[in-house]
Amino acid sequence: MKHFSLSLIFTFLLILHLQARGQDQCFECHKNAEDNPSKLFDHDIHHQKGITCAGCHGGNSQTDDMEQAMNKKAGFIGRPQGDDISRVCASCHGSQEKMKYFGSSLPTNQWKNLQTSIHAKPALKGKEQIVQCTTCHNAHGIVSVKNPSSPVYPLNVVKTCARCHADVAFMRSYNPSLPVDQLEKYRTSVHGMRNGKGDPKTAQCASCHGSHNIRAVKDVKSNVYFSNLPGTCAKCHSNTAYMKEYKIPTDQYEKYAKSVHGIAVLQKHDPGAPACNNCHGNHGAMPPGIESISKVCGTCHALNAELFASSPHKKAFEERKLPECETCHSNHEIVAATDKLLGTAPEAVCSRCHSAVQNPNGYLAAKVMRGLIDTMENREEYAKELVDEADQKGMDISDAKFKLRDIRQARLQSRTMVHAFNEAKFEEVVDNGLKTADFVISESQSSIHEYFFRRIGLAVSTIIITILALALYAFVRRLERKKNEVNK
Amino acid sequence: MKTFLKKMYDWVDERVELKGLVDYMGKKYVPVHRHSVWYYFGGVSLFLFIIQVVTGILLLLYYKSGEELAFESIHFIMSKVQFGWLIRSIHSWTANLFILSAMIHMFSVYFEKSYRKPREITWMTGMLMFFLLLGFGFSGYLLPWNELAFFATKVGTDIAGVVPVVGKPLMIFLRGGDDVTGATLSRFFGFHVAVLPGIFTVFLGIHLLLVQRQGMSEPLHWKEDPEQKTMPFFPNFLLRDISLWLLVLNLLAILAVFFPWELGKKADAFAPAPAGIKPEWYFLYMFQTLKFIPGKLWILDGEVLGIGLFGAAGVLWTLVPFWDLKSARGEQNRLANYLGLFAVIYIIILTIIGWLA
């Protein structure tokens, strides 16, 4: 069986070779007729590799007798329809042996990938998939992807994709919710502008979405799925050699991976956390301008942004052209904000601008605010310890336990309120937290006190009751002894 | 001090003729023999009943019946009311010790054959009080309206619903509808604090009156005892009994402080039943038996058969003074002894199995 299969493959390759080397009568006649397919096929890479019309359409291209050439018994299939188009392509492009025969090192999994992609969904007719090989690569006149005239050449691919993706009526029939302005946005992006100027290295549709294996954004296997996206961007942006000519840093991914956002996306797979596109945009990707950073951060951190906008820092930052959130929190390497950021210690960001001599008011305010937040944290810790102690002693401390959340809430609120840079407002929030902490501490202490009171009370009452019981018993025994003595 | 007490006694005696009662009690004698210790469990049960009444009344001051209030009010009692935790814990622990003490009292009376003529009515009122006691336990268990109580009541009333003919109406009557709801809680509260105590007090009155009237029962071998030792009921027996009550009070205080009765999670009718729902220990042997009986036994429904058997056993047990004629004649009845022994062993083993299951 194995020998039979090998001999079949060999025979097939031999025929193919002979066809390739011999005269392509189909092409000759069609060329004479000056029809469009033959015109395009003239400079088609397949034609150049010696593949005849029969390679895709079947039949016998060695004869000029049309009946013989297009005889179905000779394998003529005419114009392939539906998925047969891609199957015809895959008959060679899916075979490593055949591709090797023609001296190609192209991968051979395109058809397989296409079948698992979003484009493999059934077309409106329902009998075939939406996209065939020819949809993007054309049928006749196919050239290498490196050829600038190829529709899938990096500078052309955006237009090729946009043929469908910018067609409102077409896209509506498949996915009405999918935007159709990707190309428009792309042209406003740094990638799009460079691509428009003829730079084939900048990212285009296929760079991020893939080519044959394009999947829906919500598909976890998609290159642009939220947790895969930073890696996709990093393929170029972390490649020092590739990015050399653009003169921009290449450590964004490294920093982002360490950031609070990066940990949430890459390690915790939290879809609510931002990936690259949430701050930079996706099709219209561009670094946010200084003035728009707080707006970008504010899409998620709305309250912080609002408080900052009404704070005295707003004007000061604008005057000094300081990026609002980034100045204190950095950009790609945003670490979880701790109380250490606040105050006048060397690691506190306030001290970068506020010094005791040059800006005593700000310096003092930062010092006071840090002191208050530290006090609240200490009180919260103490309250927690007492609640745990009371809990371990088996006391019902549910009210205090519940109130612990309120202290934490107040602490979180105070962290947010920092962005107002207003001591009075900050104190108000901290005061609420401290009052709640005092309540929890007092309740827990009462419970712990009650615990000991119960045990002492039990010991005292047990002693009294036992003495009473023994006294009664002794009394009865005395009565009985007396009676016995009387009887005697 | 002694003169003051004497004066007080004389003052009361002058008005209510206390001397007559004291003399009557002083003339009452309690037989002293090797099984005398069992006599004390009647008194202990009475003491536990008094504790239940007192702590129950105290709980009533703060308890609020109702789906939305019951759990919260108990939580309030336990966390905010001064000594509320103690009262609630003592009430719950006493309920259990009361049933245990009543069981010991019942079995000791049974094995001593104290139900013989002329004490048939005393035995029957005791048995009826025991059944009422189980009713107290069942109705009181639901009152905190917590998860375990809710589902245990559901299972318990479901079992009552299996009884042929009267089962379904009985279940609806107990629940105040098709399901265990706030209506069930309201009527269980009513049963627990009004209906059952009312009936119980009547039976208790008769029971105590008869005990005083007839005195303590003498064992079968008493007549053959050449010594026939006795002790005066007042003050000797009563003071000894009170000493024991004090020790029981100690035990209750220790249990309440070291093992405070938990409240659990609030009942939620829409939540799935927690795993391992079990009734209180005193129903466990019946519950476990019903679990062991196959669903269908010949033409009979297994559950119906189980309930029928327990019902018949209960009736037989209550009517023992009327079928144990041998004991009534003063003879040993080995069959009655073996039946009692079987009942004790059966209850203990099935309770342990149910507890471990």
* pLDDT value, residue A287: 82
Mean pLDDT of the region A73-87: 88
DSSP string, B98-153: HHHHHHHHHHHHHHTTTTSTT-HHHHHHHHHHHHHHHHHHHHHHHTT-BHHHHHHH
Q: What is the pLDDT of residue A294?
A: 78
Asked, for residue A273, whether it belongs to a domain, the answer is no
Does A21 have pLDDT greater than 70? no
Q: Does pLDDT of A9 surpass 60?
A: no
CB atoms within 10 A of CB B314: 13
Share of residues in chain A with pLDDT > 70 (%): 95
Dig out the tokens for A474 from the structure: 């002794």
Query: Is pLDDT of A4 > 50?
Result: no
Q: What average pLDDT does the segment A255-261 reach?
A: 95
What's residue B131's pLDDT? 97
Measured CA to CA, the distance from residue A301 to residue A412 in angstroms comes to: 13
pTM above 0.95, yes or no: no
Q: What amino acid occupies position A401? A: K
Across the interface, whether the CB atoms of B235 and A476 are under 8 A apart is answered: yes
In chain B, which residues have their Cβ closer than 8 Å to the Cβ of A475? 239
Residue A399: which of B79, B243, B260 has the nearest Cβ?
A: B79
Asked whether the beta carbons of residue A465 and residue B239 sit closer than 8 angstroms, the reply is: no
pLDDT at A17: 45
Per-residue pLDDT of A395-408, as tens digits, reads 888 889 999 999 99
Among A90, A120, A143, where does a domain finish?
A143
Residue in the block written with tokens 């009152």: B143
Q: What's the confidence (pLDDT) of residue A8?
A: 46
Whole-number Cα distances in Å, A15 to A11, A24, A71:
6, 13, 17
pLDDT digits (tens, 9 = 90+) for A424-479: 999 999 999 999 999 999 999 999 999 999 999 999 999 999 999 999 999 999 98
Question: Which residues span the domain enclosing A38?
Answer: 1-143
pLDDT at A170: 92
Domain final residue pick, A93, A128, A143: A143
In the predicted model, what is the mean pLDDT of residues A19-31?
Answer: 74
In a domain, A211, yes or no: no
| Tens digits of residue pLDDT in A96-155 | 999 999 888 899 999 999 999 999 988 887 788 999 999 999 999 899 999 999 999 999
User: Chain B residues with CB inside 8 Å of A454's CB?
Assistant: 86, 257
Q: Show the low-confidence residues of chain B (pLDDT under 50).
A: none
Per the DSSP assignment, residues forming a β-bridge with B146 are B266
**pLDDT exceeds cutoff 50 at A7:** no
Query: Which of the pair, B318 or A8, is modelled with greater confidence?
Result: B318
- Chain A: nearest CA to B190, how far in angstroms? 29
Residues of chain A neighbouring B239 (CB-CB closer than 8 A): 472-473, 475-476
**Two tokens, residue A406:** 């309120």
Q: Distance between terminal CA atoms of chain B? A: 59
Total tally of structural domains belonging to chain A: 2
Chain position carrying tokens 């209550």: B318
Looking at residue A385, what is its pLDDT? 96
For the ranges A27-41, A313-327, B13-27, B241-255, the lowest mean pLDDT is seen at B13-27
Output the pLDDT for position A214.
94
| A224-239: average pLDDT | 96
Mean pLDDT over each residue of chain A, to the nearest integer = 89
User: What pLDDT does B145 receive?
Assistant: 96
**What is the band of A387 on the pLDDT scale with cuts at 50, 70, 90?**
very high
Distance CA A477, CA A475 (A): 5
Residue A385 maps to a domain: yes
B118 preceded by a cis bond (ω within 30 of 0): yes
Which of A112, A143, A174 corresponds to the end of one domain?
A: A143
What number of C-beta contacts closer than 8 Å exist between A and B? 55
In a domain, A428, yes or no: yes
Residues making up chain A, counted from first to last: 488
DSSP assignment of A268-299? S--TTS--HHHHH-STT--PPPGGGHHHHHHT
CA distance B301 to A162: 74
Interchain proximity A454–B79, CB inside 8 Å: no
Between CA B226 and CA B335 the distance in angstroms is 28
Among A387, A403, A446, A454, the residue to mutate for chain B (most B Cβ within 10 A): A454
pLDDT of residue A292: 75
Residue A15 has pLDDT above 60, yes or no: no
- For A50, the token pair is 């010696």
pLDDT score, position B1: 66
Residue B230 is encoded by which pair of tokens?
């006795």
In a domain, A240, yes or no: no
